[in-house]
Chain A
Amino acid sequence: EDQVTQSPEALRLQEGESSSLNCSYTVSGLRGLFWYRQDPGKGPEFLFTLYSAGEEKEKERLKATLTKKESFLHITAPKPEDSATYLCAVQAVIQGAQKLVFGQGTRLTINP
């Protein structure tokens, strides 16, 4: 079964304390991997798209990397405003149709 698993479920860091979030996937026919940020009561906000193993993307304090089986979202020297749920989604061909499959998300809290 095609699956996307994110870990940890929740992560609490001090301001400035760098860490990484993990997204592992078991899908066939991977077409792309997406990272989103979601604030409470709002829709997900697009962050990155990764298409092939070895690819990296950066935006401010965030850096996303991709291997054949997983992706990491590295957060460097985070600030309280980085607190949010981070969602990973995989675009795959499932039963002949392209679909986005989301992980359950990692709830990140940055304490000042």
Chain B
Amino acid sequence: KAGVTQTPRYLIKTRGQQVTLSCSPISGHRSVSWYQQTPGQGLQFLFEYFSETQRNKGNFPGRFSGRQFSNSRSEMNVSTLELGDSALYLCASSSKPSGTLEAFFGQGTRLTVV
């Protein structure tokens, strides 16, 4: 059974640019959550999608957005990148919403903003 797949693994972007990250959940999982991980703040919740609907949202600015497709794949977009957006972005999938059961994480996308 394939795990959670995130692409790309690494990205380098310039301040002011925008970026789109992709996440393919485990087959059959309909919940996808996104997290930002930095050394100073740890893992912080961005948002969760279940069956193409955003169910929960963390305390991040509107520059961070996402969507989920009918095949449960999800994308996260960050516009007008800032240096502080450099982080490991993690996606987690679960068969039920809001982590009612254990969530399985992908390897992450390492974003560096220069």
Contacts and interface: CB of A to CB of B under 8 A. Distances in A.
A43 B107 contact: yes
A91 interface: yes
A52 interface: no
Contacts, number: 63
Contacts of A99: 45, 56, 58, 98-99
Interface residues of B, number: 26
B42 A100 contact: no
A91 B56 contact: no
Contacts of B42: 102-105
B101 interface: yes
Interface string B19-48: 000000000000001010000001111000
B105 A43 contact: yes
Given A44-B43, A87-B43, 6 more contacts: A41-B110, A46-B103, A46-B105, A91-B98, A97-B56, A102-B42
Interface of B: 4, 6, 33, 35, 42-45, 55-56, 58, 90, 92, 97-108, 110
